[in-house]
């Protein structure tokens, strides 16, 4: 009898240990690109001009989103929304230079409070510090502050470098700088971020963790990554379907730095040659993502990790005669998004309209952490769990005082240019490249007025600063 009791107790202990192991909360790995178009993942876009085997494999393991959206296509604003789970007019980061409210409930801070290790790797481009945002450990930390080591640079085509001038790897407090790793962007910078992320994975303890890895690729300045020389040929590249030599009107950023990176008028050859290097940088980024995921697998934590891949916004790269990101077209506000992990159907796809800032509450939902009341973004965990197909009836976008946008779930889009008092209306089902402006046509007047009314209602509800002027 005594032996039987001992055996039963041993079995119960083993069962209890198994249950405790199963109850360990999932890790969250968030990989964020910079300026990556959604059509640069081969398997998702049917783009046979680019090679992205690791992102293709990640998509095969999880759910990909065809209408994931960046609402404000600028680096610091998009990242501020992601980290805070709030709209830009709510946290005031649209007024550049203003610090976050010290009581802001950041994504990392919420996970840290729930018992997670919280790690940050890569580009830092928001008005606070990692520690204040809730990160417990920082590696491969990259931001401005290396001006005294800065040297004049030229990009792949000989243009003077205007982006990331003086940016440098450093300690979080900025007291230690590492110029030996390069000042400004370097051809191998994605590998350096991957090295830092892998180091953290290899040092993980018993606690679940949240790690955000912020790449700079494929943001300008573009340099040919090591080993990529000759892989992509200019003549093999294909210009976007909505290529134009010039945008037909000033959209509010004609004089911006991004637009100066490509000579006017844009030529097909110049755009193809740009795509050759842009694709090379994305290809290298894919390889570094593969290295990180391999390290995660070797750690034994891959199956217990929610892996998210996205970009802070897209990029024109010749579409509509533009080079930069400061616009409301699909090539820019649509971002690549793949989410894989426990409970997410492998190889699934969703056309639910989602925002980048909703990743914060969504991951809270997925791992069982209470979403702070201050977070106004809406979780789309139900979509990932297969319990919902739709998420938003309308998606909205905004850029400075120059652009406002609404896109309906049935694929109509209205863009408003307040400075010019100009409107564009697109039927995305019939015109996915946004080349035929239907605004002003009598047969579409009812649709125009309906979307205009809904856009105006959103602007009032959200507190559009332009309405207060």
Strand partners, 182: none
Torsion-angle region of 368 (φ positive above 0: left; ψ -120 to 50: alpha; else: beta)? left
DSSP 339-381: EESTTS-TTEEE---EEGGGHHHHHHHHHT-PPPTT--S---H
pLDDT at 13: 44
CATH architecture, domain defined by 25-392: 3-Layer(aba) Sandwich (3.40)
Q: Give whole-number Cα distances, 284 to 165, 195, 201, 288, in Å.
A: 22, 14, 21, 6
pLDDT at 98: 72
Residue 344 reports pLDDT greater than 80: yes
Highest-confidence segment of 15-24, 148-157, 263-272: 263-272
pLDDT at 4: 46
Q: How far apart are CA 58 and CA 53, in angstroms?
A: 9
pLDDT digits (tens, 9 = 90+) for 405-454: 999 999 999 999 999 999 999 999 999 999 999 999 999 999 999 999 99
Q: How far apart are CA 163 and CA 187, in angstroms?
A: 14
pLDDT digits (tens, 9 = 90+) for 223-260: 999 999 999 999 999 999 999 999 999 999 998 999 99
Q: How far apart are CA 71 and CA 395, in angstroms?
A: 8
Q: How far apart are CA 244 and CA 251, in angstroms?
A: 14
* Cβ(157)–Cβ(260) below 8 Å: no
pLDDT at 343: 94
Strand partners, 27: 305
Q: How far apart are CA 339 and CA 63, in angstroms?
A: 5
Q: What are phi and psi of 195, to 5 degrees?
A: -55, -45
CATH 3.40.720.10 in the chain: give the residue spans: 25-392
Q: How confident is the model at residue 95 (pLDDT cuts 50, 70, 90)?
A: low
Q: How far apart are CA 334 and CA 205, in angstroms?
A: 36
* Residue given tokens 């009314």 in the structure block: 453
Count Cβ atoms below 10 Å from residue 194 Cβ, excluding itself.
24
Q: What are phi and psi of 134, to 5 degrees?
A: 105, 10
Q: How far apart are CA 235 and CA 159, in angstroms?
A: 21
pLDDT digits (tens, 9 = 90+) for 382-403: 999 999 999 999 999 999 999 9
Q: How many residues does the chain have?
A: 469
pLDDT at 100: 83
Element (H, E) at 121: strand 117-123
pTM, 2 dp: 0.94
Q: How far apart are CA 182 and CA 185, in angstroms?
A: 7
The DSSP secondary-structure symbol of 307 reads E
Measured at the CA of 60, the angle between CA 58 and CA 66, to 5 degrees, comes to 85
> Per-residue pLDDT averaged across 130-144, rounded?
96
Token output for 60 = 């095969």
pLDDT at 94: 54
Token output for 229 = 């020389």
The fold for domain 401-469 equals Arylsulfatase, C-terminal domain (3.30.1120)
Q: How confident is the model at residue 14 (pLDDT cuts 50, 70, 90)?
A: very low
* Cβ(262)–Cβ(244) below 8 Å: no
pLDDT digits (tens, 9 = 90+) for 30-71: 999 999 999 999 999 999 999 999 999 999 999 999 999 999
pLDDT digits (tens, 9 = 90+) for 193-220: 999 999 999 998 899 999 999 999 999 9
């Amino acid at each position: 009898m005594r032996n039987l009791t001992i055996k039963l107790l041993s079995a119960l202990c083993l069962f209890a240990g198994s249950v405790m192991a199963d109850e360990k909360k999932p890790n969250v790995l968030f990989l964020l690109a910079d300026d990556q178009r959604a059509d640069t993942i081969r398997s998702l876009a049917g783009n046979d001009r680019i090679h992205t085997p690791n992102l293709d494999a990640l998509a095969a393991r999880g759910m990909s989103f065809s209408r994931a959206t960046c609402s404000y296509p600028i680096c610091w604003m998009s990242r501020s929304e992601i980290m805070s789970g709030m709209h830009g007019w709510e946290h005031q980061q649209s007024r550049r230079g203003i610090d976050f409210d010290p009581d802001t409930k950041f994504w990392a801070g919420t996970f840290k409070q729930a018992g997670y290790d919280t790690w940050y790797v890569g580009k830092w481009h928001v008005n606070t510090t990692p520690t204040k945002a809730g990160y417990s450990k920082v590696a491969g930390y990259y931001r401005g502050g290396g001006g005294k080591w800065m040297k004049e640079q030229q990009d792949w085509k000989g243009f003077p470098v205007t982006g990331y001038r003086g940016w440098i790897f450093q300690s979080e407090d900025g007291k230690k700088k590492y110029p030996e790793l390069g000042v400004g962007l370097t051809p191998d910078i994605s590998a350096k971020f991957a090295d830092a992320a892998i180091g953290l994975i290899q040092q993980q303890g018993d606690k679940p963790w949240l790690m955000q890895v912020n790449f700079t690729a494929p943001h300008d300045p573009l340099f040919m990554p090591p080993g990529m020389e000759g892989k992509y040929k200019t003549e093999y590249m294909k210009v976007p379907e909505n290529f134009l030599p010039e945008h037909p009107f000033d959209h509010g950023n004609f004089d911006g730095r991004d637009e100066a990176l490509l000579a006017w008028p844009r030529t097909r050859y110049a755009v193809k040659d740009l795509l050759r290097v842009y694709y090379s940088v994305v290809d290298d980024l894919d390889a570094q993502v593969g290295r990180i995921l391999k390290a995660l697998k070797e750690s034994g934590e891959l199956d217990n990790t929610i892996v998210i891949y996205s970009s802070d916004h897209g990029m024109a790269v010749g579409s509509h005669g533009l080079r930069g990101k400061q616009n409301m077209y699909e090539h820019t506000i649509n971002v690549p998004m793949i989410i894989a992990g426990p409970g997410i159907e492998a190889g699934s796809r969703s056309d639910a309209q989602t925002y980048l800032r909703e990743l914060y509450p969504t991951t809270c939902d997925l791992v069982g952490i209470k979403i702070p009341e201050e977070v106004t973004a809406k979780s789309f965990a139900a979509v990932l769990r297969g319990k919902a197909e739709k998420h938003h009836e309308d998606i909205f976008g905004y850029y400075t005082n120059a652009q406002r946008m609404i896109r309906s779930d049935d694929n109509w889009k209205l863009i408003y240019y307040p400075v010019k008092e100009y409107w564009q209306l697109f039927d995305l089902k019939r015109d996915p490249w946004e080349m035929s402006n239907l605004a002003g046509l009598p047969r579409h007047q009812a649709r125009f007025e309906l979307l205009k009314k809904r856009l105006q209602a959103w602007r009032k509800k959200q507190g559009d600063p332009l309405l207060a002027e």
